[in-house]
Amino acid sequence: MFKRSDESLIAKALNGDQHAWQQLVNRHQSALFYFGLRLLGSKEDANDLLQDVLMVLCRNLGQYRGDSSFKSWLFGIANYRAMDMLRKRKYSDNDDALAELPDDAPELSQQLANNRQQQQVRKQLLTLPPEQRLVMELKFYQQFTFDEIAGQLAISGNTVKSRFYAALDKLRLQLEDDHVEQSANF
């Protein structure tokens, strides 16, 4: 089936086509929700972020100029709003804040095998400074390039790479420490 481009849907939505607007929202809402979930740590905060981003999108869709991909522009809005939420709120590192992330194609045996490791990685991601966590989210989960991330965050590409590699080093050390502790407990 023919899939309309974001730009085509935007043009139609700006002309009042509610179906085009709904298609545009449906296309991106899941990625935005999981972005918020991984970055903020709770379903409630992820839903708040999603609603906030959709409201901004509704009011400002006409401001999209096409200088970058729509997804990149949309996640730029989400980045700004998420960082604002992180500045306003204090987050604790409790297990209740770690929501389960369902797979797109769930296979129970695979999900059970990876669940513990995924939870461990998500828990460690929440310990990173927000700026590093954001870069990790955009690079690994949203698969943006370093240049796209730099454009979204209005920082240099070298700063993005520095945050990325610093976060990787921290995660590696934390996960190695966890592995050593778990091995010692057996």
Place 173 in a pLDDT band, splitting at 50, 70 and 90.
Answer: confident
Would you list the domain boundaries of the chain?
1-91, 107-186
Six-digit token string for 173: 């050390």
Looking at residue 177, its pLDDT comes to: 72
Task: List the CATH code of the domain at 1-91.
Answer: 1.10.1740.10
Is pLDDT at 106 greater than 90 in this prediction? no
Reported as a single tens digit per residue, the pLDDT across 39-81 is 888 899 999 999 999 999 999 999 998 888 899 999 999 988 9
Q: What is the mean pLDDT of residues 80-107?
A: 59
User: For residue 74, what are the contacts with CB-CB under 8 A and spacing of at least 6?
Assistant: 28, 32, 53, 57
DSSP labels, 39-98: HH-SHHHHHHHHHHHHHHHHHHGGG--SSS-HHHHHHHHHHHHHHHHHHH------GGG-
Which of 49, 50, 33 has its CA nearest to residue 88? 49
Looking at residue 107, its pLDDT comes to: 52
Is pLDDT at 15 greater than 50 in this prediction? yes
153 to each of 47, 72, 132, 138, how far by Cα in Å?
22, 11, 12, 10
Looking at residue 91, its pLDDT comes to: 42
Q: CATH number of 107-186: 1.20.120.80, 3.30.1330.40, 1.10.10.10, 1.10.3720.10?
A: 1.10.10.10
